[in-house]
């Protein structure tokens, strides 16, 4: 299949792997920021091909994993209202809240629907004028443009039964927070190609300069990831630190201006809690005041909902690359995709689920 097969080509992989080995790198830590990159690394077991000195650290770029537990609890609470149709992307449904997940709420009889586009939620609101349709808007810069567009459509069409529970997060502040941490030493980054498709690459350039770290904006297929590793390792060895764009077939320096504009129209910047990581300054998006009639946090009384995280889960350390899933005492025994304790065991981009489902040999 065009645009896929050539980036999963065994010959190209072999050439890149030989080039990486010929660098004979010293021990280095490279973080792939995005969960979809982690997924590919595990699905293709790329670590089997790499020199032992290259340690891949899995980053926080799984939107499902970092959505704070209080949002899940609020979502479940809202879904329990009789006149509510609660809508969400599929992989949010299994994420554990304080007491249960949306999937368990659905099994108990609440009306929760999996949707594939925010426009599906708009359609549901139009078709069910006597119900309140609430859409769980989560994700990074990647999902924000489509969600913004749906919110504008709802506002323009004067829909009075469509609401948004918003927990959007932004990647650049999270990357900065990781690089500012004393706990972990990163030598290079694979920046998330899809986020950069929207944002462009100038924020990566700023981070390369500020933290003196090589960054490769990288795609999601085996050839992309290996090329990203090669580019980054070369820079590390020659003590350079700039941003390269491996994912040129999609990412431009300025990004998608139309998408950026529509995000800015609907959302403003706020501080946001990241599950496992805690609050990160200016790392979230919230609905602007002119859309507050659609904002579920303002329309419904949600402040009294208390949350509590299971203390056995080390997701925070995993999302910061301090530990690997195998380092967790409950990985694979008490915490499995059937009974996830932490969010990274749920999403297919989550590091724990990727380790569990795609065990290397």
Partner 1 sequence: MDCPTPKNEFDKILLAHGSGGSLTNKLIRNLFIRHFDNDLLNTEHDGAVFNLNGTNIAFTTDSFVVNPICFPGGNIGELAVNGTVNDLAMCGAKPLYLSASFIIEEGFELDKLELIVSSMKDSSNKCNVQIITGDTKVVEKGKGDKIFINTTGIGIVHNSVDLNPMNVKTGDKIILSGTIADHGIAVLSARENLSFESKIESDTAPLNDLVDTMLSVTKNIHVLRDPTRGGIASTLNEIASKAKAGVLINENKIKINNAVKAACELLGLDPLYIANEGKLICFVTPDDAEMLLIEMKKHPLGKNAEIIGEVIDDYKSKVILRTSIGTKRIVDLHSVEQLPRIC
* Residue 222 interacting with partner 1 (CB under 8 A): yes
CB 263 within 8 A of CB 141: yes
CA distance 125 to 155: 12
Instruction: Retrieve residue 107's tokens.
Output: 């099994």
User: How many CB atoms neighbour CB 113 within 10 A?
Assistant: 14
Residue with tokens 């080995």: 21
For the CB of residue 113, give the shortest distance to partner 1 in the complex, in Å.
Answer: 10
Token pair listed for 258: 């139309």
Select the residue interacting with partner 1 from 24, 82, 239, 311 (CB under 8 A): 311
| 103 interacts with partner 1 by CB under 8 A | yes
Q: Are 267 and 151 in contact (CB under 8 A)?
A: no
Verify binding: residue 355, partner 1, rule CB under 8 A: no
Of 321 and 340, nearer to partner 1 (C-beta) is 340
Distance CA 198, CA 172 (A): 12
Residue 190 in the binding site for partner 1 (CB under 8 A): no
| Residue from 74, 94, 275, 286 binding partner 1 (CB under 8 A) | 94
What is the 8-class DSSP label of residue 181?
A: -
Of residues 53, 107, 278, 290, which one binds partner 1 by CB under 8 A?
Answer: 107
Read out DSSP for 220-234?
Answer: SSHHHHHHHHHHHHH
Using the rule CB under 8 A, is 211 a contact of partner 1?
no
Q: Could you tell me the sign of the dihedral formed by the alpha carbons of 42, 47, 49, 54, in that order?
A: positive
Q: Is 237 in the site for partner 1 (CB under 8 A)?
A: no
Q: Which stretch binds partner 1 (CB under 8 A): 24-32, 171-179, 259-267, 350-358?
A: 350-358
Nearer to partner 1, 65 or 213 (CB): 65
Nearer to partner 1, 220 or 291 (CB): 220
For residues 265 and 260, give the distance between their C-alpha atoms in angstroms, rounded to a whole number.
9
- Which candidate, 344, 203, 201, 361, places its Cα nearest to that of 283? 203
Distance CA 201, CA 156 (A): 32
> 278: how many CB neighbours lie within 10 A of its CB?
10
87 three-class SS: strand
Question: Hey, which residues does 142 pair with through a beta bridge?
Answer: none
Residue 284, SS3 per DSSP? strand
54 binds partner 1 (CB under 8 A): no
- Examine residue 166 and tell whether it contacts partner 1 (CB under 8 A): no
**Of 107 and 257, CB closest to partner 1:** 107
336 binds partner 1 (CB under 8 A): yes
Interface pick for partner 1 out of 98, 126, 181, 264 (rule CB under 8 A): 98
Task: Find the part of the chain contacting partner 1 (CB under 8 A) among 158-166, 169-177, 282-290, 329-337.
Answer: 329-337
Contact residue for partner 1 among 32, 70, 91, 224 (CB under 8 A): 91
Q: How far is CA 175 from CA 157, 159, 203, 228, in A?
A: 38, 37, 10, 17
Q: Does 1 bind partner 1 (CB under 8 A)?
A: yes
Between 1 and 158, name the residue whose CB sits nearer to partner 1: 1
Asked if residue 114 binds partner 1 (CB under 8 A), the reply is yes
**From the list 23, 28, 92, 166, which residue makes contact with partner 1 (rule: CB under 8 A)?**
92
Report, in Å, the least distance between residue 198 CB and partner 1.
Answer: 11
| Cβ at position 184, least distance to partner 1 in Å | 25
**Number of chain residues interacting with partner 1 (CB under 8 A):** 61
Strands 188-192, 28-34: parallel, antiparallel or unpaired by DSSP? parallel
Cβ distance to partner 1 smaller for residue 6 or 206: 6
Q: How far apart are CA 237 and CA 30, in angstroms?
A: 13
Q: Determine, following the binding rule CB under 8 A, whether residue 291 of this chain makes contact with partner 1.
A: no
- Contact positions vs partner 1 (CB under 8 A): 1, 4, 8-10, 13-14, 36, 42-46, 48-49, 63-64, 89-94, 96-100, 103-104, 107-108, 114, 116, 138-140, 142-143, 194, 222, 308, 310-311, 334-341, 347-349, 356-361
């Amino acid at each position: 299949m065009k645009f896929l097969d050539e980036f999963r080509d065994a010959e190209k992989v072999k050439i890149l792997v030989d080039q990486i080995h010929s660098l004979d790198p010293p021990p280095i830590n490279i973080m792939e920021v995005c969960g979809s990159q982690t997924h590919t690394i595990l699905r293709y077991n790329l670590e089997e091909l790499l020199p032992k000195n290259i340690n891949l650290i899995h980053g926080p770029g799984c939107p499902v994993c970092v959505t704070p537990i209080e949002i899940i609890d609020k979502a479940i609470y809202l879904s329990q209202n009789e006149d509510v149709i609660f809508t969400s992307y599929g992989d949010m449904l299994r994420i554990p809240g304080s007491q249960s997940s949306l999937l368990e709420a659905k099994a108990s009889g609440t009306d929760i629907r999996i949707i594939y586009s925010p426009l599906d939620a708009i359609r549901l609101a139009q078709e069910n004028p006597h119900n309140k349709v609430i859409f769980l808007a989560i994700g990074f810069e990647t999902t924000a443009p489509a969600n913004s567009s749906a919110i504008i459509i709802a506002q323009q069409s004067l829909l009075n039964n469509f609401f948004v529970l918003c927990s959007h997060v932004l990647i650049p502040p999270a990357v900065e927070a990781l690089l500012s941490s004393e706990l972990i030493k990163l030598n290079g980054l694979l920046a998330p190609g899809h986020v950069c498709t929207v944002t462009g690459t100038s924020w990566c350039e700023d981070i390369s300069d500020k933290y003196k770290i090589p960054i490769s904006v990288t795609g999601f297929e085996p050839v992309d990831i290996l090329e990203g590793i090669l580019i980054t390792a070369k820079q590390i060895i020659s003590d350079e630190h700039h941003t390269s764009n491996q994912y040129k077939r999609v990412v431009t320096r300025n990004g998608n201006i139309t998408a950026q504009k529509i995000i800015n129209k609907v959302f403003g910047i706020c501080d946001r809690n990241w599950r496992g990581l805690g609050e990160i300054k200016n790392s979230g998006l919230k609905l602007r005041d002119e859309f507050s009639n659609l904002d579920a946090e303002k329309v419904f009384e949600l402040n009294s909902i208390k949350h509590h995280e299971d203390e056995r889960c080390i997701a925070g350390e995993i999302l910061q690359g301090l530990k690997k899933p195998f380092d967790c005492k409950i990985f694979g025994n008490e915490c499995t995709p059937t009974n996830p304790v932490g969010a990274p065991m749920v999403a297919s981009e989550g590091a724990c689920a990727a380790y569990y489902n795609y065990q290397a040999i």
